[in-house]
Structures are given as C-alpha cells and as structure tokens.
C-alpha cells in the first residue's frame, strides 16, 4: 500500500517516496494540442496547480546534474498514461530548458519587501542555470549581464550608503526594478544560446503578490512590475517555446496581460482541461478502493464532490486525500472540512463585510440550499472590486465557493445559476462566511441595548435584538445554543457588568447572568427559550420564568450577596425576539 502524500507538491517525490499518485500526465498532450503559446490556468487553491507545473517541468526539462551530465527523467513517467501517446509526444521529453518560478512567497508588507522576494526567486533560476557561464556559446556581454543579475548587486542598498540622499536611492530602486522586470527574458536568451532551442517558462501563483499588494495598499506599483515582467518574458520574448501560468483568479487582461495576444485563458468555466485539476469520479473511487474505503463513497461524495470544471465533475483533491489519510488510521472517524483553513480568503472577507441587505439575503438563500443567478465576468481588477456586488459572486465562483448548475446567454452576457457545491463548502458558509458577516453586525454600537437592559425597557430590548438578527446572516433550526451564543455576544461589554454563561446559581445553571461590578447594583438573569411559531412566543417566556422559579436562580444570586436581581425571559422565533420581565 503506497504512502498517502499530504502536502507533497513536487512530481518526482511521488516516485522517490512511493506515494499514491493520481495520474494527470495527459495534461502534457492536451497542453501541446490545445494550449496556446502562453496558457493561464486559474483554479481554486489546493487543486493541484503546483503539482501540475512540477510534472510539466519534469517531462519537458533538459536537466543536468551537478557534474554536468544530462538527467534522464523518463523513469518518473513509467506506467503513466502519457507513455502510451506515441513517439511524437515522447520525443519532446527532456528536450527543453525550463525556467520555473513561484510567486507565492511575495507577501510582504510593502513593495520593497515583496520585490526583494521576487528578485530572490529570479536569482534562484539564474543560479540553477549558471552552467551556461562555462560555455563559449555566450558572448562576453551576455555573460556580464548574466553575472550582474545572478549576483544581485544592489546599487540602491541603503546599508552601502552609495547615494547621498533619498532621491538618488529612489532612482536607483527604480532602475533595479526595471532590470529585474526584464531578467526572465535575459535568462531565456542565454538559455537559447546555450541549448540552441527555445525555452519553456512555468510561473506558479502569479496573483498572490497582486492580492497581497491590494490588501496592503501598493497594488498599482506591484501591478506595474508584474505587467512589465510578463510583457518582457511572455510577449516580446523570441526565445519562448511555450509558457504556463497558474493562479486562483484571472486578473483583467488590460491590467496585467497587456498586449498578450498569444494568451489562452483556461478557468473553471472553460471547455478544456477540466479533468486535470481536482479528482474525477473515477479517480476518487479508485483511490478509495486502493485503501479499502469503498464503503465511504457516499460520504466522500456529499462532502467533497460537486465542482464542475468545464465539462468535468471533480472532487476537491486536497480534502479527498486528507480524508483517505485520516480514515486509513481511523476508519470510523468523521468527515471534516479539510479545505476550510487552507485558502487565503481576505478579499472575500472584505467583500462580505461590506455587503448590503440584498447580498445578505442571497447568501442566506445559498446556505439554506437554494440557488442564485448572476452575470459572470472573468476579468477582475482589484481596483474595481467594490464597484459592483457582482464582484463578490465572481470571486466566490472562481475560487471554488460556488458551483455552476446551469448557464444562459442574454445578449453578450453570460448568466450562471449557482449553488454551494458540497457539505464542506456549506460548513465554510455556515461558519466562516456567516461569522464574517455577523461580525460587522455585532461590532455595531450596542449602547442602546445596554441602556434598555438597565432601564428594564423590554420592548426596546426585543426590538434591538430582532433588528440585529435580521441583519445577521444565519439559518436557524430553533437550536437554543445558537441564540444563547448570539445573546451572550451582544451582552459582553456592558459597562460595569461581567457576563457569565451557564454558571451555577440556586439549583441549576441560568443561561446568562450579568453580575455587577458595583455591589449596590442589581444582577440580571437572561433565560432563553425558542419556539417554531410566532404565536407561541409568550408561552416561551412563561416557560423561561417557570425555570427561573423552579431552579431558584434568583435566590442563588441573592444568597451571593447581590443587592437585587432582575430576570428577563427571552424567547426567539426565527429572526424575532420577545422579552418578559420579573424583578426581585
């Protein structure tokens, strides 16, 4: 039984470590047959993009070991589907110099720090290919330029104090940025001179520095650099064979991919390549069967299936792999939302926290199992994300939080009907996304609620709580635990009081008690009940008071030495609240 590879992203590891591998090697053939000069794949995080690029590199790269000998990588494809595709495809194996970069670590707090990280990534590729410097195929001028970029000599390093003032430093910094913005093209030219063949360029997670820059406030500067880097490497590069770029989102062509007429963009809504990112039904069943988990098919389908990429239905590969990993050791353990904490959701969080009542209602509809129909556009610019609520649905769809059910065309526009794809994503909506939305509601000024509690104004207390519930995004099953947490969060922070939940008093545990910090002030009891029908809410209040009397909550608090106690019976029904009062 092969080891299950959690977190492995390098293709060779699956052979070297004897890991279970879901064969995606036919991506090589389809890339040759259907890809463009430059192909951009946008998929949700943890859906195999990095592993796919590693596989492409292993197949195409003319690789050398430390002694300068050519490395034969064909063993990594033994028994794989690509090996049955004939001589025309296999003749391309190990034939091309490859430039391989990941931009995912460029997430620093300012452009300076992010640029330094990108520069280090570029220098790393210069270092990896430095064997070209030993050849007479490169003229001295090319070698000098190569060495300058390889060594990363910083003409604007403040520590070296090479400039007398900040203006000169800034000028030097701009020159350094411009130099490295064209460095990939320079490396391509040197590799072509050495190998006498065009270069393949692989760039992973291209949108990470852009999203980070947007959140940190230097998007325009970062976009300028990425645009210049891509234009040089992917548009005006005569040494380019093909390039593959991956990311989560398709950033507007006009924003980043200016003038790239050789670009093929493949998103989750495109026709081709759907089966190569994520596990198909057959692949998932094979993996479960390989580890004796055939009985878990229905559970895995409910939790991790439901994505429709092009014409292919796929499962979340990260979650399926983790599920198998856990259940090999503990067959009876429960399914979990493994993907929930693996993705960067900062943009979605920002959009949801700024959502209006209409968007809130649509999110509630999704959580309840419903669908929404929205116009979809794949060109997204970070500068414009707040211009339209449609941008939230685009982000949710293209990052894997919504599934396409159907589509229609109206004029030039495409409209998708969408729903939550599976239990795992449903969990994220019911917890993370709802929490983000509710956080805005609950951070609002609650001074009016506090005043109403002290004034014993039960009508105003009921109005404020009902209004807050209606602004929140939640579904309700009349579970007291939800309303308990809701009310406790609303009461925490009331001046001169400490809110306690389920603390022993009398012969039981009242739901919430506000204990005064000043001994002369009364304590407040909140006992919560729920009802499914509005006309039963008064009955719920009376049940709350009955429990207060039966369990002697008030007597317990008075025995503690507090000056007085005021009891509120609180009954919730869906998004409405009724309150009763009893005082001792």
DSSP string, 87-132: HHHHTTTT-B-EEEEE-TT---SSHHHHHHHHHHHHHHHHHHTGGG
- pLDDT number for residue 469: 84
Mean pLDDT is lowest, of 136-150, 282-296, 350-364, 509-523, for 350-364
- pLDDT number for residue 471: 73
576 token code pair:
């409405």
- pLDDT number for residue 84: 96
Are 487 and 528 contacting, i.e. CB atoms less than 8 angstroms apart? yes
Find the helix or strand (DSSP H, E) in which 99 lies: strand 98-102
Strands (E), 186-311: 199-204, 240-247, 263-266, 279-280, 307-309
- pLDDT number for residue 446: 83
Residue positions counted in the chain: 584
Find the helix or strand (DSSP H, E) in which 364 lies: helix 357-367
- pLDDT number for residue 378: 75
Q: Which residue has the tokens 């919504």?
A: 402
Are 233 and 241 contacting, i.e. CB atoms less than 8 angstroms apart? no
Q: Which residue has the tokens 């009364």?
A: 522
Closest to 392 in 3D by CA, of 419, 413, 374: 374
Q: Residue-wise over 168-183: b if at least 16 C-beta within 10 A, else e?
A: ebeebbeebbeebbbb
pLDDT band at 419 (very low <50, low <70, confident <90, very high): very high
The residue ranking higher by pLDDT, 292 or 356, is: 292
Spatial separation of the C-alpha atoms in residues 300 and 321, rounded to whole Å: 11
Q: Which residue has the tokens 């579904």?
A: 475
96 token code pair:
């091309």
The full DSSP string for 47-83 is SSHHHHHHHHHHHHB--B-TTSPBP--GGGGTT-GGG
Tell me phi and psi for residue 562, to 5 degrees: -75, 150
The residue ranking higher by pLDDT, 170 or 455, is: 455
346 token code pair:
């900062």
Find the helix or strand (DSSP H, E) in which 354 lies: none
Mean pLDDT is lowest, of 234-243, 322-331, 479-488, for 479-488
CA 86 to chain centre: 39
Average pLDDT over residues 183-206: 97
- pLDDT number for residue 188: 98
- pLDDT number for residue 581: 95
Average pLDDT over residues 503-532: 93
- pLDDT number for residue 511: 95
The residue ranking higher by pLDDT, 308 or 340, is: 308
Are 218 and 209 contacting, i.e. CB atoms less than 8 angstroms apart? no
Q: What is the pTM of this model?
A: 0.80
Average pLDDT over residues 162-167: 59
C-alpha separations of 434 from 303, 311, 385, 407 in Å: 19, 31, 20, 27
Arithmetic mean of pLDDT over the chain = 89
pLDDT band at 445 (very low <50, low <70, confident <90, very high): confident
Find the helix or strand (DSSP H, E) in which 41 lies: strand 38-42
Q: Which residue has the tokens 């090589």?
A: 28
Are 24 and 52 contacting, i.e. CB atoms less than 8 angstroms apart? yes
- pLDDT number for residue 393: 85
The residue ranking higher by pLDDT, 78 or 258, is: 78
Spatial separation of the C-alpha atoms in residues 264 and 266, rounded to whole Å: 6
Burial of 340 (0-12, 13-18, 19+ CB in 10 A): middle
The residue ranking higher by pLDDT, 431 or 506, is: 506
For 542, the 3-state DSSP assignment is helix
Strands (E), 205-305: 240-247, 263-266, 279-280
- pLDDT number for residue 153: 59
Say what the alpha-carbon torsion angle 315, 321, 327, 332 is, to the nearest 10 degrees. -30
pLDDT band at 159 (very low <50, low <70, confident <90, very high): low
Q: Is the pLDDT of residue 129 over 80?
A: yes
- pLDDT number for residue 87: 94
- pLDDT number for residue 415: 92
97 token code pair:
């110099």
Q: Is the pLDDT of residue 229 over 80?
A: yes
Average pLDDT over residues 274-291: 97
Beta-carbon contacts of 33 under 8 Å, excluding residues fewer than 6 positions away, are none
Q: Residue-wise over 521-532: b if at least 16 C-beta within 10 A, else e?
A: bbbbbbbbbbbe
- Edge-first strand order for the sheet with 312-315 is 279-280, 312-315, 307-309
41 token code pair:
């794949």
Q: Among the CATH numbers 1.10.10, 3.10.450, 3.40.50, 3.30.310, which is that of 23-274?
A: 3.40.50
Spatial separation of the C-alpha atoms in residues 404 and 417, rounded to whole Å: 6
Q: Is the pLDDT of residue 345 over 70?
A: no
Q: Is the pLDDT of residue 387 over 80?
A: no
- pLDDT number for residue 371: 95
For residue 582, the cross-strand partners are 567
Q: What percent of the chain has pLDDT over 90?
A: 67
- pLDDT number for residue 492: 86
Spatial separation of the C-alpha atoms in residues 421 and 89, rounded to whole Å: 36
Say what the alpha-carbon torsion angle 164, 165, 169, 170 is, to the nearest 10 degrees. -160
Mean pLDDT is lowest, of 95-104, 131-140, 246-255, 433-442, for 433-442
Q: State which fold the 444-583 domain adopts.
A: tt1808, chain A (3.90.1570)
The residue ranking higher by pLDDT, 266 or 168, is: 266
What is the DSSP-derived secondary structure letter of residue 196?
S
CA 507 to chain centre: 48
- pLDDT number for residue 356: 67
Q: Is the pLDDT of residue 434 over 90?
A: no
For 340, the 3-state DSSP assignment is helix
Mean pLDDT is lowest, of 130-134, 388-392, 499-503, for 388-392
């Amino acid at each position: 039984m092969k080891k299950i590879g959690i977190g492995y992203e390098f293709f060779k590891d699956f052979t070297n470590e004897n890991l279970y591998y879901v064969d995606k090697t036919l991506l090589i053939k389809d890339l040759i047959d259907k890809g463009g000069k430059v192909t951009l794949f946008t998929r949700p995080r943890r859906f195999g993009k990095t592993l796919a690029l590693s596989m492409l590199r292993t197949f195409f790269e003319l690789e050398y070991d430390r002694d300068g000998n050519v490395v034969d990588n064909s063993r990594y494809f033994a028994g794989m589907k690509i090996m049955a595709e004939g001589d025309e495809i296999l003749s391309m194996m190990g034939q091309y110099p490859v430039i391989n970069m990941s931009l995912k670590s460029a997430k620093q707090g300012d452009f300076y720090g992010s640029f330094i990280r990108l520069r280090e990534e570029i220098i790393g590729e210069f270092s990896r290919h430095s064997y070209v410097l030993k050849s007479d195929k490169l003229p001295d001028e090319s070698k000098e330029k190569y060495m300058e970029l390889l060594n990363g000599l910083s003409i604007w390093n403040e520590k070296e104090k090479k400039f007398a003032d900040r203006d000169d430093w800034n000028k030097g910094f701009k020159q350094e940025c411009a130099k490295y913005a064209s460095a990939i093209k320079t490396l391509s030219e040197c590799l072509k001179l050495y190998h006498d063949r065009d270069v393949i360029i692989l760039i992973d997670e291209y949108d990470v520095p852009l999203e980070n820059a947007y959140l940190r406030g230097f998007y325009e500067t970062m976009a300028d650099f990425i645009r210049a880097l891509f234009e040089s490497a992917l548009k005006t590069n005569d040494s380019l064979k093909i390039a593959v770029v991956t990311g989560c989102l398709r950033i507007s062509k006009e924003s980043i991919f200016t003038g790239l007429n050789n670009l093929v963009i493949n998103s989750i809504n495109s026709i081709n390549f759907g089966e190569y990112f994520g596990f198909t039904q057959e692949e998932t069943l094979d993996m479960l069967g390989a580890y004796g988990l055939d009985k878990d098919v229905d559970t895995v389908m409910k939790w991790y299936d439901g994505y429709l990429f092009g014409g292919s239905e796929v499962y979340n590969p990260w979650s399926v792999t983790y599920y198998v990993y856990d259940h090999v050791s503990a067959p009876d353990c429960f399914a979990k939302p493994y993907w929930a904490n693996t993705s960067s959701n900062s943009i979605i969080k920002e959009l949801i926290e700024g959502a209006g009542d209409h968007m809130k209602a649509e999110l509630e509809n999704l959580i309840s199992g419903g669908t929404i129909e929205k116009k979809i556009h794949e060109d997204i610019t970070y500068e414009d994300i707040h211009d339209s609520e449609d941008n939230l649905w685009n982000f949710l769809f293209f990052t894997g939080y919504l599934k396409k059910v159907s589509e229609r065309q109206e004029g030039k526009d495409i409209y998708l009907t969408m729903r939550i794809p599976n239990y795992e994503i449903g969990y994220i909506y019911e917890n993370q996304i709802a929490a983000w939305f509710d956080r805005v509601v609950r951070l609002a000024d609650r001074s009016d609620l506090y005043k109403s509690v002290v004034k014993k104004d039960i009508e105003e207390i009921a109005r404020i709580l009902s209004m807050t519930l209606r602004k929140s995004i939640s579904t309700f099953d009349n579970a007291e635990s939800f309303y308990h947490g809701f009310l406790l969060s609303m009461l925490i922070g009331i001046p001169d009081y400490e809110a306690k939940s389920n603390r022993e008093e009398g012969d039981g545990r009242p739901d919430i008690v506000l204990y005064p910090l000043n001994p002369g002030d009364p304590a407040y009891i909140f006992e919560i009940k729920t009802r499914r029908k509005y006309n039963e809410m008064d009955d719920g209040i009376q049940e709350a008071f009955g429990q207060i009397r039966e369990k002697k909550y008030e007597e317990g608090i008075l025995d503690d030495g507090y000056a007085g106690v005021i009891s509120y019976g609180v009954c919730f029904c869906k998004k409405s609240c009724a309150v009763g009062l009893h005082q001792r």
